[in-house]
Structure formats: C-alpha cells, structure tokens
A and B are shown apart, each in its own frame.
Chain A
Amino acid sequence: MALKSAIRKVRSNPHFLFVHLPHILSFICIVAGVVWLLLLPLNDYSRQTYISENALLPGQVHAYFSGSEQHIFRGYKKELEGVLEGQTAEGQEAWNDAFTPAVSDKIQSILKATGLKVATQNYEYTSSGITHQGQNVYAIIQAPRGDATEAIVLVAAWKTVEDELNLNGVTLALTLARYFKRWSLWSKDIIFLFPPDSKAGTQAWIDAYHDMQPAFVQPLPLKSGALQGGLVIEYPFDHRFESLHILYDGVNGQLPNLDLFNTAISITGGQMGIGTNLQEMWDHDDSYEMRLQTIMRGMVKQGFGYATGPHSSFMPYHIDAITLQTKGEGWQDEMALGRTVESLCRSLNNLLEHLHQSFFFYLLMQTNRFVSIGTYLPSAMLIAGNFTIMAIALWLRTGYYPGSQQASKPTEEQVTTTTTTTEKHDDKQAPPAKADASNNIIERQLALPLTLVVSLHLLGLIPLYIFNNIPHQYYPTATYTSILANFILPLLLSATLSHTLTPHPQQYHLIKSFSLLILGLFLSTLATLNFSLSFMVGLLCAPLSFIHRINPQTTSRPLRYILSTLALALLNVLSPPVVLLAVCWYFGADVETVLTQAAFGWDVWGVWTQVVVWCVWWPAWVAGCALVGFSLFSS
C-alpha cells in the first residue's frame, strides 16, 4: 500500500519525475557500475579457471628436452656471441647488440644446417617521422604427420619488450628448432620466427602471412597453413630464473582464448614446478587488494589497447598467442624453459580444431581465477546506460514537461488547453498550435541540436589526424595547444551560438540529450569489443550526465557565474589531453614517448583507442562544456 501511494505521489509530481528522478537513476547506475567492478574479486563472483578443450591434455606427456641438448644450446650461444663480438667497434666495451645482417646470416645458417626451410622478410614502417626497419628470419618444420594446413608459431625476438638483448631466448628457439626437427610426432607445422624487435617485426610478418601487408613490407616467400597458436619466448639475462611472467593482452583489448593461458599455467606450475605471474604482480598473496590490483592492471592494458609484446600482433587474426618472460633469480635454467615450451607445443599439436571452447572475454585476477564477460559486462553497461537514461529522460522532458522556467503553467495550463480544444468541435481544421497541444506534446526544434552534435563528432577527426601524423618532437606542443583550444572552443561556441541564434531553452536539453544518446550508444557498443576502454571513458564522462546550462531565470547572476566557472574548471580537468598528462605523470612517462607510441600503434598495430578518444569522448566533452558555457552568455 505504502509503495503504491509512493508511486502515485511520484506520478503526480512531474518536476520530480522529469528532473530529479533521471539524475537519481543515472547516479545509481554509475555507482552500481563501479561497485559491481569492486565486487568481482570476491570468491562469489569469480571462478576457478579450468581447461575446456579436452584435446589439449596439458602436461600429460613427458618432456625430453634436456641433457645433450644443453650442449647444443651452449654451442649455438657461443656462435651468436662470436658474431656479436665480431661487430663490436674499436675501443668499445659492450657488444653492439643490434640485429645486423651478420646476426641474421648466422641464424639462417644454423637453421639451414638443421635442415629447415629458411626465408627472410624485410620491412620498413614510418611513424611520427621515425623509421622502423628490419629483417625477419623464419624457418618452417614441416609436420611429418600433417599436410601443411595447420601450424604453430614460436617467436624469439632479438630484442625483448623492454628492449633488452634476448640472447638466451633466441638460442633456445634455435636449439628447439633442431630438437623438434627430429621428432616424428608433429601433426602441425612449426614455424620459428626471429624478428629483430618486439614491436614491428611480428606485425610485419603476420600481416604478410595473411597477404594483408602494406606496400613497404615484403610479402613472405614461404608459408604454411592456418596458424593455430603462438608462443613467444623471452630470456634476456644470463643467470637462472625464478618464475615465468605470462603476457596475454592483445591489440585493442582482444584476448587469447583462456584455454591457452590455462594450459601454460598448468604446464609451468603443475608439470614443471615453475612459478607464474601475470600483470607484473610479483608477490600476489591472493588477497582482495591484490586480486583487484591485478584486474585493474589488466583493464588499463586492455583499455589502452596497445601491443604488450610480440604475441599481441597475432590477436587481430584470431590466432591465440602468449609471451613467456623469465623473471627473477632462482634455480630454473634454460632447459626448464625449453621443456615448458616443448610441453606447450605438444599440447597445441594435439588440437583438433582451432581453440574455441573457452572464454575470449575475461578478466584475470590470479593465475587460476577469472571472471567471464557475463559477470563483468553489466558494470560497463550500467555506466553506458546512465547516459542513455539521461538522454531518454531529457527527450521526454522536452516533449512533456516545459520545465521550471514556465513554472506558472506546467500542468494546469495543459489541462485547460485540452479541455478548450475538446469544447470547440465545430470545425474540422483545428488551428496548428491547438492540434499539437491537444496531444500534450510540445513540438521540438531539432535542427540546431542535431547539427551541433553531428558536427562536433566530425570535428573530432581533426585532432585525430593531427595526433597521428605530426613528427614526434611536436607532440608536447600539440598537447598543450589542445588543452588551450579545448578551453576556448566551448566558450567560443556557446558565445557565438547564444548571440547569433539565441536558442530556445528546450534546445539546450536537446543538445545534451543527443550528445549523451550518442555517447551511450558508442560506449555500449564498445563495451562488447573492449570492456575496459568503455568503462574508463564512461567513468571520465560521468559528470557530463549531471552538468547542464544553469537557468538564468531561476539563478541569480553572481551565483550562476560562480557555479558555471566551477563546472568549467572541473570539466577542463577531465578533458582528454589533461587526462593524458595526468596519466603520464602518474606512470612517470614522457608525453612525447607516450604519444609517439600511440601514433606507432595507430600506424602499425591498428590501435583504435585514439578514434574512441577523439570521436566519442571529446565531442561529448565539448558539448558538455558548451552547455555550461551557455549559462555564462545567455541573458
């Protein structure tokens, strides 16, 4: 009964229904979205990982890589060190550890001596005025029991993700190539790829493998079948290691099938007894805080969408891949890593079809716990939904509730118009205004709001172009300029519009409604593709739901100025370039490096984060600022 009367009370109070209720609902949505995310690390909401694909049989075979293979490993390492010593300049202490033609020749000759088919590929990328060029070397073991329709890739980049010399990793891959060649049980081809770096090389190779390479990347002379999985080995130091760090994030937040990750965990931990870490969490004690921190780190990487290692380049082609990095000082040697890789290859070799059983959308919080998309998606959807709720509410408000500025005539007036129209039934052609009022809907003027919102979205293309195409030394200048431009543009926009067109109060609501509708639309679409990015942009945009033009009729001039200046200051703190600076400051990174990396991602990896920032977030932000600006200029 009480509830019923409460609902009736709400229905009879249009001001609450149209003005306060949407704000409350939006706010609840945002809070619920954040709380939802915070609940995920709890045992009740996350799950233990498990292997779905029966064919993988992780750790069920004995790994034979040991003993005499270690001599081969040492021999190969000596040969590579010899080449490196040979290319040291006069009077220089350290090696010149660049991937020179001599190194490439050495790797090729070792692979050829093993009896593999070897090929090379040259590539050259230019991004932000910096040229990245190199030569990939790769070799193929043809499967004795296969028909060259499927293959596994083993990657050992000459330079690791941190730009260290990956000498042990490359040597191990060469040793494994020789070792695998002698086995007769492979039913898939095994490709050994030696890119000179961890950024561009793999991308050039995988693009060319699928004939999607740009003009400045050579096509591949030698190919095999469809790639079923990829493993990257990194062992950049000489001492023994303690644990393996597994990288799994792909470009644009795509993830490899969870089965591959689980197989790696199960083999390293279960079969080999090597500890595993993820997301650089070195001392994970499985507490709530640690789990949450792991999730957050995963989300940040996913949200930025950059390639975290050579494995990331495989993801857009639907090839599941991970990177194994050796970490710490312990008692595991290169043979242990070799056995792990062997066991992983044996598991992948068992696959009857492409990895598809397990999850592609997950958040990992520990090597053996995860949440799947069904559990975590609602949090981003709730945040995206808050914008849609506000947009719908504003639309209804513009149609049904004229607002407080015409406070004298909200409900009673409309009732009287209805009755008057019903009384005069003599003519068939009712006058226009009455005909509209008769349905209690106010005609909306859509042209200005629609044009403004659409053109702001198109305007986003300009910063997108600038931030991806200027030479790298200008990036800091461009950032500061854009902060200034971001400050001026909304004010300029609102000043011009309110002086030239004098928009109807209703139109301010419509501008906000359309802007938020599009924002909600894009963010909910994005949540299905890249959950983390959608969540982060959604949170940063959250204030946009609650700011609007301050009505000059109801608020006195000084108060209005103070409020709108405060709102503008808040919004400017949350503008895309300021957030970029804040993030750079937090991580201790250099703006120029970050933006060069971003432009490299756009040019080479095909990262889409910039599009979201400049064509989704920025237009909504400018529209929000302009709305606040209107309260400064309208009289």
Chain B
Amino acid sequence: MGVDHRKAAVFGGALALRLLLSVLFPSLPDLLTGRVEVSTPVTSFKRLQEGLFLYMRNVSPYDGGVFHQAPLLLPLFSLLPNAQSHPLPTALFYSMIDLVNANALVTISDSGQAVSGRFYSALRKHIRWDGVSIAAWFLFNPFTIATCLGRSTGVFTTTGILYAFSSAVTGNSLNAMLSLGLASYLSIYPALLFIPLVLLCYDQRVQKTKVSSGTLPFALQHFAVFLTCILGLLSISTLLIGDFYTFISATYGFHLLVPDLTPNVGLWWYFFIEIFDSFREFFLGVFWLHLAAYMGGLTVRLRRQPLFVLTSLLGIFAIFKPYPSISDASLYFALLPLYRHLFPLMRYTFFAISALLYATLLGPAFYHLWIYAGSGNANFFYAITLVWSLGLSILLADTIFAALRDEWEHDNPELRGKEVRQV
C-alpha cells in the first residue's frame, strides 16, 4: 500500500508546526503548561514532573499530595530525558501522540460508520469530508495544538478513547475493550462509554458475520475483557507503587471526590467552593449522577447510531466533567466533522461558535484581571466558563437535534423539509 501523499503532507505539516512552535518560542510550552485552561490537577505536566522526581528517588510519588495521575505514566516518562533541560524529546513525543490520535481518526472516518451503520444510514451521506481532512481539522485545531504544547497527560486518555472507537468500527472488539480499559485506567470517566461502545462492537460483529448471537452474552463477555484489562493495569501499578490504598485514593479518589478546586473551564470548582461542607457529599453524588445519566438516555434514544452516542457523550464530558480542559473540547471537536452530513440541519452553529470564540478570548483576559491585575475577581472567570459551557451545550444540543431530525426524515420521508416544532 503506497503512502497517501495528502496524509503524509498533513501529518508532516502538523509535526513540523508543533516542533517549530516549541523551538521558536521556547517559553510557550511552559506558559501553556501553567494555564488553567490547558492543565487541570489531573492532567498537569508540572504535577507529573513532581511525581516523576519523587519516583526517581524511590519515594512514593503520591507523597506531598501534588501528583494524582496514573502510576504507569511514571516509568514511561522516566525513559524520556528531563523536560527542563531537553524539551525537544518530550515535544516530539507529544507530537507523535497527536499524530497517532489523528491516525485513529482517519480509520474511524474511513470506516464510514458515522454515516451508515447496521440499522441506519444517513440521508445526506454524500456530504462528508474524507479522513485526511478530518485529521487535518484535528491536528490544526488551536486547542489541540495548545494541549500538545502544554503537554497535558489528557492526550493519553484521548488516545485510548480514539483507539477504542477505531478498533470498534473496524470490528476489532477485543482491542476496543483493551483501549477503553487503558483510557478508563488513566482517568476513570471513559468507563461510562462502555455500553455504547459494546453496542457499536456488537453491531459491527452482526454486520460482518451476519450471525446475531444474543446481545447480553456478548456484552458480558466484553465486560469481562474490559474488567480484566483494568485489573491487570491496576495490579501492575500496585507492583510499581507498593501501597494499593494510597495510590487508589490519590488517583481515583481524587477524580471522584474532587478535593482540588483549582479553577478550570468546567462548572464544578466554583460550585464546590461556594457549597457548605455539609452538602458537599450530596451534591458530589448529584453531579456525578448527572454526568452518568446522559449515557443511558442517549444510548436508548439513539440506539441506531452508537458512534454518535459516543461522540455526544464526549461532548457532555467536556462540559460536565469535574476537571475538564480544552483537551476534552478538542477531542469532541475532532469527532464532530465525522458528522459533516448533519451540518446543514444545524441551526445555531454560528452562535455556538461565536460564544466559544468569545469565551476563548475573554477567558484568559478575565483570568488575568482576577489573578494578575487583581482588579477582577473569581466571578469574572466563572462567568466566562459559563459562556464556554453554554457554547458547547448549544453545539451539542444542536448536533443531537440534527441527528434526530435526520433520523426522523429517514423514517418519515413524506415530512421531509417541513417545519418541525418540539412539543
């Protein structure tokens, strides 16, 4: 198979751009690493370095309460030279990860699952972009570039999720489970993608083999694989760290209980700063339940398009996660162009994108006023995170509307083009 020239150009260009940015502006990576929009307490590269420092000196990396990321990242990063004195290998490594992610996107796009699956084939499936365009969209998205230069460890979760999707759409359900296991091991929330992903795998299996065994045994089988993968990773981590409970409470406990309320682009931090301590547990439960609840509803309603459910869930995570960053938004934006055929049906794209652009500019400005100039306060930045979330929500709701409209027109051809009104 010859190398696709366009793909090579896009990938080479993206790699060159990333390396060029980090060589031409040597202070840029450190600047981005310090930005709250890029680095959250659970993905920060600075915190990783702290953990790495302790790990290299045979101290538990979780001592000191700074590092909260999965332990397997430590041996991986201990192989790379020190990022302070030799920043280039790390930059190269992160750029390669981005390329790997883009490659997975190309696979997902080329499979055509986004437009036609087992039960459903979209009406406007001729309006679509090819894999390389989608990869370019992902690679040249400023949010992705910022995440890559900011060296957020969220990109590894992104890799896990994208590979789970790409394995699922190519019918490799075992690999999909293993990748999702890795992603869940790194940052817990991808486990919520399990059910739609199993459905996607099942649909693929049925489409390929034409043998429909029961859904439940298939799901249980795969759940076992998923669980085994996580357990395997956890046991390796325990071997590495020694103390099982410290590591669990410092990583997953930290993800679940949200003790660090450093500002980020999400909605949790301000709420939990304001809440009285006695209600904290209750609202923690409510917030998590709220996040998890979308999974069931969307899976049932959009059963015919499991990949779309997965995409929308990623959008929901980017809004409602405890520690979201622009890397989560960039993952959602990466998958959106797969649904190019829905764009003509969307109604508020311009407003959503304008809101996102406003938030992108005003967020750092207000953060500056709050933290550096001292002339603003926390409400300034929080207001902008609300606008950001609003923009994402509008976009999300609009895509879901478009997908439903597409399904509806598919089912009711006689009503095509009629005005609809939600009742």
Q: Contact residues of A with B, CB < 8 Å?
A: 254, 316, 318, 354, 356, 360-361, 388, 391-392, 395, 418, 421-422, 425-430, 432, 434-439, 441, 443, 517, 521-522, 524-525, 528-529
Among residues of B, the one whose C-beta sits closest to the C-beta of A315 is B373
Q: Is the interface of A mostly helix, strand, loop or mixed?
A: helix
B421 at the interface (CB under 8 A from A): no
Q: How far is the CB of A427 from chain B (nearest CB, A)?
A: 7
Q: How far is the CB of A434 from chain B (nearest CB, A)?
A: 8
Report yes or no: A525 in contact with B361, Cβ–Cβ below 8 A. Answer: yes
- Count A/B pairs, Cβ under 8 Å: 74
Considering residues B350, B416, B417, B418, which has the most beta carbons from chain A within 10 angstroms of its beta carbon? Answer: B417
Report yes or no: A443 in contact with B344, Cβ–Cβ below 8 A. Answer: yes
- A382 to B372 Cα, complex, angstroms: 27
Interfacial residues of chain B within 315-373, with CB under 8 A of chain A in the complex: 344-345, 350-351, 354, 357-358, 361-362, 365-366, 368-369, 372-373
Stretch at the interface among B41-49, B58-66, B119-127: B119-127
Using Cβ atoms and an 8 Å threshold, which residues of chain A touch B7? Answer: none
Given contacts A360-B374, A521-B357, A525-B365, contact A438 B123 (CB under 8 A): no
Report yes or no: B362 in contact with A525, Cβ–Cβ below 8 A. Answer: yes
Report yes or no: A439 in contact with B344, Cβ–Cβ below 8 A. Answer: yes
Report yes or no: B127 in contact with A422, Cβ–Cβ below 8 A. Answer: no
B35 at the interface (CB under 8 A from A): no
Using Cβ atoms and an 8 Å threshold, which residues of chain A touch B373? Answer: 254, 316, 318, 360
Q: Contact residues of B with A, CB < 8 Å?
A: 123-124, 126-127, 344-345, 350-351, 354, 357-358, 361-362, 365-366, 368-369, 372-375, 410, 413-418
Report yes or no: B416 in contact with A430, Cβ–Cβ below 8 A. Answer: yes
Using Cβ atoms and an 8 Å threshold, which residues of chain B touch A316? Answer: 373
Given contacts A360-B375, A430-B123, A528-B362, contact A395 B350 (CB under 8 A): yes
Report yes or no: A439 in contact with B413, Cβ–Cβ below 8 A. Answer: no
Report yes or no: B358 in contact with A436, Cβ–Cβ below 8 A. Answer: no
Report yes or no: A354 in contact with B374, Cβ–Cβ below 8 A. Answer: yes
Among residues of B, the one whose C-beta sits closest to the C-beta of A428 is B413
Among residues of A, the one whose C-beta sits closest to the C-beta of B349 is A395
Given contacts A425-B414, A430-B416, contact A318 B372 (CB under 8 A): yes
- A430 to B341 Cα, complex, angstroms: 13
Report yes or no: A529 in contact with B369, Cβ–Cβ below 8 A. Answer: yes
Given contacts A432-B126, A435-B344, A529-B365, contact A517 B354 (CB under 8 A): yes
- A428 to B366 Cα, complex, angstroms: 51
Using Cβ atoms and an 8 Å threshold, which residues of chain B touch A521? Answer: 354, 357-358, 361
Using Cβ atoms and an 8 Å threshold, which residues of chain A touch B345? Answer: 439
Report yes or no: A422 in contact with B414, Cβ–Cβ below 8 A. Answer: yes
Among residues of A, the one whose C-beta sits closest to the C-beta of B350 is A395
Q: How far is the CB of B34 from chain A (nearest CB, A)?
A: 15
- A360 to B124 Cα, complex, angstroms: 54
Q: How far is the CB of A314 from chain B (nearest CB, A)?
A: 12
Report yes or no: A432 in contact with B124, Cβ–Cβ below 8 A. Answer: yes
Using Cβ atoms and an 8 Å threshold, which residues of chain A touch B366? Answer: 528
- A254 to B351 Cα, complex, angstroms: 32
Q: How far is the CB of B132 from chain A (nearest CB, A)?
A: 16
Q: A432-B127, A439-B345 are in contact. List 16 more A-B contacts (CB 8 A).
A: A254-B373, A356-B374, A388-B354, A392-B354, A395-B350, A422-B414, A422-B416, A432-B124, A435-B344, A435-B416, A438-B416, A517-B357, A521-B361, A524-B362, A528-B369, A529-B368
Q: Which of B357, B365, B415, B417 contacts A439 (CB 8 A)?
A: B417
- A443 to B414 Cα, complex, angstroms: 23
- A427 to B344 Cα, complex, angstroms: 20
Q: How far is the CB of A129 from chain B (nearest CB, A)?
A: 24
Report yes or no: A418 in contact with B127, Cβ–Cβ below 8 A. Answer: no
Report yes or no: B358 in contact with A524, Cβ–Cβ below 8 A. Answer: yes
Given contacts A360-B373, A432-B126, contact A392 B416 (CB under 8 A): no
- A427 to B410 Cα, complex, angstroms: 10
Please list 23 pairs of residues, one from A and one from B, whose beta carbons are closer than 8 Å in the complex, sorted by A's number.
A316-B373, A318-B373, A356-B374, A360-B374, A361-B375, A391-B354, A392-B354, A395-B350, A418-B417, A421-B417, A425-B413, A425-B416, A426-B413, A427-B413, A428-B123, A428-B413, A432-B126, A439-B344, A441-B344, A517-B354, A521-B357, A524-B358, A524-B362
Using Cβ atoms and an 8 Å threshold, which residues of chain B touch A443? Answer: 344
Q: How far is the CB of B157 from chain A (nearest CB, A)?
A: 30
Q: How far is the CB of B310 from chain A (nearest CB, A)?
A: 26
Q: How far is the CB of A257 from chain B (nearest CB, A)?
A: 8
Report yes or no: B350 in contact with A392, Cβ–Cβ below 8 A. Answer: yes
- A395 to B176 Cα, complex, angstroms: 42
Report yes or no: A522 in contact with B418, Cβ–Cβ below 8 A. Answer: no
Using Cβ atoms and an 8 Å threshold, which residues of chain B touch A439? Answer: 344-345, 417
Using Cβ atoms and an 8 Å threshold, which residues of chain B touch A361? Answer: 375
Report yes or no: A435 in contact with B413, Cβ–Cβ below 8 A. Answer: no
Report yes or no: B417 in contact with A522, Cβ–Cβ below 8 A. Answer: no
Using Cβ atoms and an 8 Å threshold, which residues of chain B touch A529? Answer: 365, 368-369
Given contacts A318-B372, A318-B374, contact A435 B124 (CB under 8 A): yes
- A174 to B124 Cα, complex, angstroms: 81
